[in-house]
Structure 1
Amino acid sequence: MNLEELTTRLHAIRDSNDWSGFHSPKNLAMAASVEMAELVEIFQWLTEDQSRQLPADQLEHAGQEVGDIVLYLLLLCAELGIDMEQAVRAKLADGERRFGK
Structure 2
Amino acid sequence: MDIVELTRRLHAIRDHNDWRRFHSPKNLAMAASVEMAELVEIFQWQTEDESRQLSDEQREHAGQEVGDIVLYLLLLCAEAGINMEQAVRAKLADSERRFK
Bin for the TM-score computed over the shorter chain: over 0.9
Q: Distance in 2 between matches of 1:70 and 1:84?
A: 11
Q: State the match for 2:64 in structure 1.
A: 64
SS at match of 2:82: coil
- Quote how far apart the aligned CAs of 1:48 are: 0.2
Aligned Cα root-mean-square deviation (Å)? 0.2
- Give the superposition deviation at 1:19: 0.2
Unaligned runs of 5+ residues in structure 2 are none
Q: Could you tell me the TM-score, scaled by structure 1's length?
A: 0.99
- C-alpha separation between the residues in 1 aligned to 2:84 and 2:7? 11
**Paired AA for residue 18 in structure 2:** D
Unaligned segments of structure 1, at least 5 residues: none
How many corresponding residue pairs? 100
Q: Distance in 1 between matches of 2:83 and 2:26?
A: 18
| Cα distance in 2, alignment partners of residues 99 and 47 from structure 1 | 27
Residues 21-51 of structure 1 deviation map (CA, whole Å, 9 limit, x = unaligned): 0000000000000000000000000000000
Offset, 1:98: 0.3
Shift, 1:82, TM fit: 0.5
Structure 1 ranges of 4+ moved more than 4 A? none
Q: Indicate the residue corresponding to 1:80 in structure 2.
A: 80
2:46 is matched with which residue? 46
Tell me the distance in 2 between the aligned counterparts of 1:25 and 1:99.
31
Superposition TM-score, scaled by structure 2 size: 1.00
Who is 2:92 aligned against?
Answer: 92
Alpha-carbon separation, structure 2, partners of 1:19 and 1:99: 41
Alpha-carbon distance, 1:87 to partner: 0.2
